[in-house]
Structure 1
Amino acid sequence: MEAVILEERADGVTLINGKEYMTDAKGGFVPLSLVKPQHKLEDETVRKIIDYAINLNAQIARFRGHTMTDLGGLDALIAQEYGAKIGGAKGNRTYQTIDGLMKVQVQVADQIDFGAELQVAKSIIDECLTEWSADSRAEIQSIITRAFNTDQEGKINRAEIFMLMRHQIDDPRWQRAMDAIRDAMRVTGSKEYVRFYTRAEITDAWQAVTIDLAKA
């Protein structure tokens, strides 16, 4: 029996005893000669883009690591040499060049989850909706539906919950529901966000140095 010799190439082609194949989505080997030219071109383009994306992702991760290390070193040096601290009690801080044309901001955001009190709030809100007429506060009903629907990870929509709390409604039950939501809030951790800004002149508005691909 002839030994099977497999060699996988970076371009997605597998050599089996010297013959070229491509692996399909089911894991089967398709002779390269049977692959449509447009599909092969699409495959090559996607592989090239993903390769760039992986390398860029690694660069951004290294950049963030170096940035936090540099800022942490600066914080430690200032604390040691001058007995001073940059930023407020929560950990937000801003670093700026002497000419006022560049700055780095570190913002600390609390990560919030909700406890069992949230279900109490939901039941009170449902009670309010039952008594309110169908035509009144339609926009609030829409927000309530979105707020208490879970996302793909089973998480409550926090942004919609906070939007719900901004509505000032005199009904005492509504006020109790909002109190229950506040009681349900749990700070489970925090996350640091680093943002970068520049401007050409001191009188100009700050312009963000965008690293988010969707906003670049």
Structure 2
Amino acid sequence: MEMNTIPTGYRQDAQGRLVHESMIKPIDLERDRLVRHWVDRASELSSELADFKVAAFGDIEAFVDLSAEQYGAKLGGKKGNLSLLTFDGRYKIVRAINESVAFDERLQAARALIDECLRDWTQDARPEVVTLVNDAFRTDTKGEIRTARVLALRRLEIADERWQKAMQAIGDACQVVGSKSYIRVYERIGDSDQWRQISLDIAGV
């Protein structure tokens, strides 16, 4: 792909037109300089954070394996959430892995079984259960089922065989489709049991 070379003394505007610098207002040149400076700095910080994440996860995983070796254990597969504290208990690092869950076609079978239950139960006046079910299967603004609310139905103590089959179908339909890993760093607040997160988010600094 060919790159257009901008002649010396010219700038390209947002419409792709070449404009001589003498025709550009000083305030516009200063704005351009300011934005480019901080975009470059932000790119550097983003790269540093990426390096930090890779290095931190690598060191934590190596330490977990080292700790397991003390008991002659070998860890395999995906690692879970954990917390590591300094000897004096002042600092803590938390590794968190959040899994993304989706439902396959078996969720429709679960809904059909639940609807059978509801048609019978409505005669016995169980409005709270009807509300919970309808809310669980209501889609969000993106048209997607809210997985946490559907899974919450499994905590209901209902002995009906159809309900039990529906809950099994929900469990079978639940599929892990991805995961995101996080590292959070904390400092203890004084001698309390409260922690203050050391923010790695620009909005939280």
Match of 1:68 in 2: 57
Q: Distance in 2 between matches of 1:192 and 1:161?
A: 19
Amino acid at match of 1:190: S
Amino acid at match of 2:97: V
C-alpha deviation, 1:139, in angstroms: 10
Q: Distance in 2 between matches of 1:68 and 1:53?
A: 22
- Confirm or deny: 8 A CA contact 1:22 1:29 kept in the other structure: yes
Q: Pick from 142, 145, 153: which aligns with 1:149?
A: 142
SS at match of 1:107: strand
Matched, 1:163 2:153: no
Query: Residues 49 and 123 from structure 1, CA distance in 2 versus in 1: closer, same or farther, beyond 3 angstroms?
Result: farther
Match of 1:210 in 2: 199
Number of matched residues? 186
Where structure 2 has 5 or more consecutive residues not aligned to the other structure, the ranges are none
Match of 2:71 in 1: 83
Q: Distance in 1 between matches of 2:20 and 2:132?
A: 57
- Confirm or deny: 8 A CA contact 2:101 2:147 kept in the other structure: no
C-alpha deviation, 1:175, in angstroms: 8.9
C-alpha deviation, 1:144, in angstroms: 5.6
Q: Distance in 2 between matches of 1:29 and 1:126?
A: 66
Cα deviation digits, residues 89-113 of structure 1 (max 9, x gap): 9622111111110111112222212
- Confirm or deny: 8 A CA contact 1:22 1:32 kept in the other structure: no
- Confirm or deny: 8 A CA contact 1:78 1:84 kept in the other structure: no
Amino acid at match of 1:77: L
Matched, 1:30 2:22: no
Q: Distance in 2 between matches of 1:33 and 1:119?
A: 67
Root mean square deviation of aligned Cα:
3.9
Cα deviation digits, residues 139-158 of structure 1 (max 9, x gap): 997886542734xxxxx36x
Where structure 1 has 5 or more consecutive residues not aligned to the other structure, the ranges are 7-13, 151-155
Match of 2:44 in 1: 55
- TM-score under structure 2 normalisation? 0.66
C-alpha deviation, 1:50, in angstroms: 1.1
Q: Distance in 2 between matches of 1:197 and 1:141?
A: 40
Q: Distance in 2 between matches of 1:76 and 1:90?
A: 10
SS at match of 2:84: strand
Aligned ranges for residues 1-216 of structure 1 at < 5 Å? Answer: 6=5, 14=6, 16=7, 18-24=8-14, 26-80=15-69, 82-83=70-71, 91-118=80-107, 146-147=139-140, 149-150=142-143, 156=144, 160-163=146-149, 166=152, 181-216=170-205
Q: Which has the higher contact order (CA 8 A, sep 6+)?
A: 2
Amino acid at match of 2:149: M
Identity within the alignment, %: 28
